[in-house]
Structure 1
């Protein structure tokens, strides 16, 4: 059975909107410009290694569009090649008929049912990048197996947060903490299943 892994860039106060590059237009981004070259290089190494360990990518339509608009579908290099080669599953309630990124499949209908089915079809890690709305749904329905939070040393103060309202308390267990470069911290959590 597959393992759903949420991989997010997040501020200290939990914001994921207008994240590191500041391209979402919320006016509170550009976190990436506030860290050192060493931090960015080590961040890229961690992200590439994660892509090598993934068996598939899962994302919402907006995140899929974000990757395509930033050239990931045609970029060169080992990291881009790896992402392009992975099967990509896009959860979309709108009319995304023909995704522009190679090896992409649109999952329509009930996202909980579609992702539950996907977990049974794909062995290994199914990594979720971005996709705030989808992440909220996955967390609320207990479909997440691991959260990897690349935490930036900034307080944003406003914006869409990683954790929105949930149907109840979702206990997590810290399983790993790593310093990335000099300023970033990668926190890895797994859900605690009570009962």
Structure 2
């Protein structure tokens, strides 16, 4: 059975994006050789990437034409992808399917696959999947920067969730990758 892992990068003050959609300037503070290598490992081990519609819209505008990171672009373009959306009916990005019933589809795919399923970004989707008990692990990249304002990854109030630290790794940029198992 596949594990479902939510992967997010946040600023030290807890924001997954700045005040404007796709303001991801905090990513620059954590990006380096270690995070690039980790991203390539994720690409090699993942069986499926999952996005909410807003994250998909940004990803599809970037990765199919990216020439700055060819190895990353290759895996991002070739790996199977699933978009959770009630408004989309088809996707233009290669190897991408759309579902309007993400719970049923993830349960099905989790049961038939062994490789991990990664949810990239997609904070609203991640919160929904946490609420229905479908996230096995939170993987948080903590960027060494304070951005002052933006959209918090965990807006309050949140339901209490018990987490167990599985791993913490300091990377070359001074960022920290935290792995938490969702225990309740």
TM-score after normalising by structure 1: 0.83
Aligned match of 2:2: 2
Q: 2:71 aligns with which of 67, 78, 86?
A: 78
Pairing 1:31–2:26 present: yes
Q: Residues of 2 paired with 1:33 and 1:3: CA distance?
A: 28
**Offset of residue 54 of structure 1:** 0.6
Confirm or deny that 1:150 pairs with 2:141.
Answer: yes
- Report the more deviating stretch, 115-124 or 149-158: 115-124
Structure 1: segments with no counterpart, 5+ residues: none
Cα 1:45/1:4, change in 2 over 3 Å: same
The answer to whether the 8 Å contact 2:32/2:173 transfers is no
CA distance in 1, matches of 2:39, 2:109: 23
Are 1:53 and 2:45 an aligned pair? yes
Deviation at 1:127, TM superposition (A): 0.6
Bigger mean CA deviation after superposition, 55-64 or 160-169: 160-169
Corresponding residue for residue 177 of structure 1? 168
Alpha-carbon deviation of 1:13? Answer: 2.4
Moved more, 149-158 or 129-138: 149-158
Matched positions, count:
182
Judge conservation of contact 1:53–1:125 (CA < 8 Å) in 2: yes
SS in 1 for 2:9: strand
For residues 75-125 of structure 1, give each alpha carbon's deviation from its aligned partner in whole angstroms, at most 9, with x where no partner exists. Answer: 35222111222110100011x22212110000113x333322332233220
Corresponding residue of 2:16: 16
The alignment yields a C-alpha RMSD, in angstroms, of 2.2
SS across alignment from 1:79: helix
Any stretches of 5+ residues in structure 2 without a counterpart?
none
